[in-house]
């Protein structure tokens, strides 16, 4: 059972200074402006891209936004390196933010890149100063809060940064619950869940508890090992978890939500729909108790970095 994880969650609060219009789902928009601002701040070569750059393995932009494959033998063959951040945008729905209104969103850093939080704060400030969304709306940073969870599951916000002041110390490991596990748990997916097979997102009819749980195991394991130098499970433990997951039954009320986004970097339109709704898991959930809580912060499935695959645990 996982008792702690190298993860820190934050909430950024901005005050709108020029009308800011966000699309139905703002996750990819926020990721795009964050990435551009981060590269402008961190890149010393001013090259058009990072290919062939001799500084890539020591560059904070690369570590955060475009991490390289690990050099260790056990991880060298992974197809995609998960990025060590998660952006949680405002709730679904097109919205105009007028001057004077507040815009808040979540931001999570995993592992070693937590040392670059000051750079990330500067990148977010620059992104919103230069313009976000249709019409390039602008905003000023009001402050950054750490998001911590009490033993009873209640979230506590603690102010750690105000513009013009020093960044305050805060926990860089999150403690996970170790109480009595339930034999039944319900997950409410609020953003599209994209669990893929052969390159295609699975529809509700093809989702199983094993598919979900092992996706959580793989995501948590890769992030911890690549970005935190911590191996969560041995090969034997991974196999045992797969066997346990096979015994979990599930019942869900999931529907498909279509979502289309345009990728400026890839210069094409992408279909990124997925499953939303409730998913109930039943059985011996003890091996997955802490993992399920962790997954609510890490998200699960494709494009988790900009907020897809977000779920809440509904206590029963």
Quick check: 73 pLDDT over 70? no
Q: Name the pLDDT band for 276 (thresholds 50, 70, 90).
A: very high
Is residue 267 packed enough to be buried (19+ CB in 10 Å), middle (13-18) or exposed (0-12)?
exposed
Tens of pLDDT, residue by residue over 9-54, are 999 999 999 999 999 999 999 999 999 999 999 999 988 888 889 9
Percentage of the chain beyond pLDDT 70 is 93
pLDDT for position 134:
87
Beta strands in 68-224 (DSSP E): 85-88, 95-97, 102-110, 138-149, 155-161, 174-175, 184-193, 196-197, 200-201
Give residues with Cβ within 8 angstroms of 268, minimum separation 6: 262
Q: Under a CB-based contact definition with an 8 Å cutoff, are residues 13 and 141 in contact?
A: yes
With CA atoms as reference, report the closest residue to 64 among 136, 104, 115: 115
- pLDDT at res. 268: 65
Query: Over 80: is that where the pLDDT of 264 sits?
Result: no
Token readout for 240 is 């045992």
Q: What is the mean pLDDT of the chain?
A: 91
Is residue 265 scored above 70 in pLDDT?
no
Q: How far, CA to CA in Å, does 293 sit from each of 26, 90, 110, 272?
A: 24, 21, 15, 25
What mean pLDDT comes out for the span 107-112?
97
Q: For 110-138, what is the mean pLDDT?
A: 96
Sign of CA dihedral 148, 110, 104, 89: negative
> What pLDDT score does 255 carry?
96
pLDDT for the residue 152 = 63
Question: What does DSSP say about strands 102-110 and 95-97: parallel, antiparallel, or unpaired?
Answer: unpaired
pTM of the model: 0.94
Average pLDDT over residues 146-167: 88
């Amino acid at each position: 059972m996982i008792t702690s994880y190298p993860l820190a969650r934050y909430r950024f609060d901005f005050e709108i200074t020029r009308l800011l219009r966000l699309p139905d789902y703002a996750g990819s928009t926020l990721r795009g402006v964050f990435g551009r601002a981060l590269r402008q701040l961190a890149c010393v070569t001013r090259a058009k891209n990072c290919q062939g750059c001799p500084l890539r393995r020591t560059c904070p932009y690369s570590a955060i936004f475009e991490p390289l494959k690990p050099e260790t033998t056990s991880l060298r063959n992974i197809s995609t390196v998960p990025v060590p951040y998660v952006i949680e945008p405002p709730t679904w729905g097109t919205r105009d933010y007028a001057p004077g209104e507040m815009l808040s969103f979540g931001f999570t850093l995993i592992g070693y890149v937590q040392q670059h939080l000051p750079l990330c704060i500067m990148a977010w400030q620059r992104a919103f100063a230069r313009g976000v969304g249709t019409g390039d709306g602008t905003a000023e940073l009001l402050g950054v809060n750490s998001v911590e969870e009490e033993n009873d599951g209640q979230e506590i916000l603690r102010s750690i940064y105000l513009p013009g002041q020093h960044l305050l110390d805060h926990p860089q490991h999150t403690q996970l619950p170790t109480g009595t596990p339930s034999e039944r748990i319900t997950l409410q997916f609020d953003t599209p869940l994209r669990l893929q097979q052969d390159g295609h997102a699975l529809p509700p009819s093809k989702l199983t508890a094993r598919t979900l749980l092992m996706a959580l195991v793989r995501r948590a394991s890769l992030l911890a090992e690549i970005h935190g130098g911590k191996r969560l499970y041995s090969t034997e433990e991974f196999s045992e978890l797969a066997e346990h997951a096979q015994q979990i039954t599930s019942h869900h009320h999931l529907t498909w939500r279509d979502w289309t986004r345009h990728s400026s970097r890839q210069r094409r339109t992408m279909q990124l729909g997925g499953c939303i709704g409730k998913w109930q898991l039943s059985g011996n959930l003890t091996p997955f108790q802490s993992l399920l809580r962790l997954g609510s912060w890490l998200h699960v499935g494709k494009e988790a970095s900009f907020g897809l695959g977000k779920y809440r645990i509904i206590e029963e």
